Amino acid sequence: MSLPPSPRVRWGALAAYVGVVAAATLLQAPVAENLTFAQRVAEFLRPPLRPSALIDAIRNVALFTGWGLLWVLTARDIRASRTLLVGATATGASLSLAVELAQLFFTSRTASLLDVATNTTGAALGVLTTLAFLRLLAVGVGRRSFVGMPAALLAAAYACACAAEAIVPLFRQRMAPGAWGAPGERLATVLVAFRADPSWSLPLGDVPLFLPAGLFTVAALVELGWSYRRSAAVTTVAGVVAAVGLDLAHGMLGIPIRMGAIVVHGLAVPAGAALGAVLLPRFSRALRGPERPRALLALYATVLLAWLTRPYRLDLTPLSLHIKITFPWWLPLGDARFRTDLFGVFDITSGFLLFLPVGALLAVWPLRRRGWAAGIWPVVLFALALEASQFVLYLRLPTITDPLVQSAGAAIGWAAMRRVGFPRYGAALERQPPPTVDATGGSGYRSI
């Protein structure tokens, strides 16, 4: 285990998180005048159960999972699991209760004991999932790998982002006619519509998103000792099964099942697996030292561009620019009131997952040994630049929430790698291998 961060860093990070939560829940909320204080207290103690309660609960859990995660990553001793769980849960509950009590005075917010319960649950889950994640990550220290970080981290995070896109597609969320009721009823309605019209329209824009999932999965399996051929075969089967299963999953939400999407996803992942089986051995032979992380960073930056600049079309109309400029894009989580469905949850989570491996890679291969490029600031700037492009892209709405979440993902990936003991091997932008050269590839780690 590496040394813990200083108390100043720990409490500074936690204070920053409190600031984000406060900004998301209290800013731009006028003082209440319509209801008496007694009425607001009554609603707080007995919150009405609305259809959106489940989505609100998921969002609350996701928000406060970050509190538990940060509590662990900045702790002095990450092995004291019971102490960490109690501390994060107690402080998370206190923070949530303070926020909800403050919301009693704001008309645009609804205070609720149910929110306190879900927020507290999120803090506890954040601790448990982070501890499990760190223990799994620690297994990879000292093992053979392609770039000095476990490819399983990259493959798992990327696969989850792809799954979220398959379940709730960014541009294909229109509900099927008559698809209401319980998930089973919605799926039955969608399947009837699917039999009448399978919809063979191919979403070719999904190819550059799903193809890397196959490649990264093959890399992860090879690092576990599997052959390239076996890794590609297993990934192919898993990709086809997932393509069908995930489309059925979004059918339970009432979103039409499209044969074209199943075909594209079911072929893109196996194609990526085949590319991995062919290109990864050449990658291992041709690239040494910092050349490997440099190549991976270039590839992954291209993949992120494909994800975050869809539908690859400009919109420079005055009306569109006016709407985007006047939208409260600068307020952290200020767009949350527009993200009240599963898409909002999945969209934010996907951004976090896509940037998590970037921070992990920069933890062992920073761009430079010293200066601002020795940490995750390059990722933060990259995320901000991508979000700035939303001002001129068709059907995209800019918000500071996305780069904040993406930067948080990178920061957590970076911190996790450092806390479990992965060393730095050099700087990715160096032209020569770092001083610690071994006989397994000139990388300072056991390379494949």
Model confidence over 365-397: pLDDT tens digits? 999 999 999 999 999 999 999 999 999 999 898
Measured CA to CA, the distance from residue 294 to residue 444 in angstroms comes to 15
Q: Which residue has the tokens 């992942």?
A: 269
CB of 312 closer than 8 Å to CB of 259: no
Q: Fill in the DSSP letter of residue 318.
A: H
Q: What is the CA radius of gyration of the chain?
A: 23
SS3 324: helix
- pLDDT-derived band of residue 48, with 50, 70 and 90 as boundaries? low
Q: Give tens-digit pLDDT for 344-355.
A: 778 888 999 999
Single-letter residue type at 442: G
Give the range among 155-159, 176-180, 227-231, 417-421 with minimum mean pLDDT.
Answer: 176-180
Q: Is the pLDDT at 212 greater than 90, yes or no?
A: yes
Q: Is the pLDDT at 69 greater than 50, yes or no?
A: yes
Q: Is the pLDDT at 442 greater than 50, yes or no?
A: no
Q: Is the pLDDT at 162 greater than 60, yes or no?
A: yes
SS3 106: strand
CB of 181 closer than 8 Å to CB of 252: no
Q: Is the pLDDT at 23 greater than 70, yes or no?
A: yes
- Region 286-298 average pLDDT: 94
The alpha carbon of residue 347 and the mean position of all alpha carbons in its chain are separated, in whole angstroms, by 8
Task: Quote the pLDDT of residue 114.
Answer: 84
Q: Give tens-digit pLDDT for 215-256.
A: 999 999 999 999 999 999 999 999 999 999 998 898 998 999
Tell me the pTM: 0.88
Q: Residue 414: how many CA atoms within 13 Å on its side-chain side? A: 22
Q: Is the pLDDT at 33 greater than 60, yes or no?
A: no
SS3 288: coil
Task: Quote the pLDDT of residue 175.
Answer: 86
Measured CA to CA, the distance from residue 167 to residue 175 in angstroms comes to 13
- pLDDT-derived band of residue 336, with 50, 70 and 90 as boundaries? low
Q: Give tens-digit pLDDT for 245-276.
A: 998 898 998 999 999 999 999 999 999 999 99
Rounded to 10 degrees, what is the CA torsion of 413, 416, 422, 427? 40
> What interhelical angle do 342-364 and 53-73 show, nearest 10?
20
Q: How far is CA 341 from CA 119, 123, 387, in A?
A: 18, 22, 21
Single-letter residue type at 106: F
Task: Quote the pLDDT of residue 28.
Answer: 54
Instruction: Indicate the average pLDDT of the chain.
Output: 87
Of the two residues 128 and 16, the one the predictor is more confident about is: 128
**Element at 278 (helix H, strand E):** helix 259-286
Top mean pLDDT of 112-116, 230-234, 404-408, 424-428 is at: 230-234
Rounded to 10 degrees, what is the CA torsion of 419, 420, 424, 428? -90
Task: Quote the pLDDT of residue 182.
Answer: 81
The pair of structure tokens assigned to 349 is: 């989570």
Task: Quote the pLDDT of residue 434.
Answer: 47
Percent of the chain with pLDDT over 70: 87
The pair of structure tokens assigned to 153 is: 């981290």
Q: Is the pLDDT at 426 greater than 60, yes or no?
A: yes
Q: Is the pLDDT at 147 greater than 80, yes or no?
A: yes
**84: nearest Cα among 92, 75, 95, 93:** 75
Percent of the chain with pLDDT over 90: 59
Q: Is the pLDDT at 338 greater than 80, yes or no?
A: no
Task: Quote the pLDDT of residue 35.
Answer: 64
Of the two residues 104 and 198, the one the predictor is more confident about is: 198
Tell the burial category of 229 from Cβ atoms under 10 Å away from its Cβ (0-12, 13-18, 19+). exposed
Top mean pLDDT of 87-96, 110-119, 164-173 is at: 87-96
Residue 379 CB partners (closer than 8 Å, separation 6+): 355, 358, 359, 362, 406, 407, 410
Q: Is the pLDDT at 29 greater than 60, yes or no?
A: no
Residue 320 CB partners (closer than 8 Å, separation 6+): none
Q: Which residue has the tokens 């609100």?
A: 56
CB of 436 closer than 8 Å to CB of 425: yes
Task: Quote the pLDDT of residue 44.
Answer: 67
CB atoms within 10 A of CB 24: 17
Q: Is the pLDDT at 1 greater than 60, yes or no?
A: no
Q: Is the pLDDT at 444 greater than 70, yes or no?
A: no
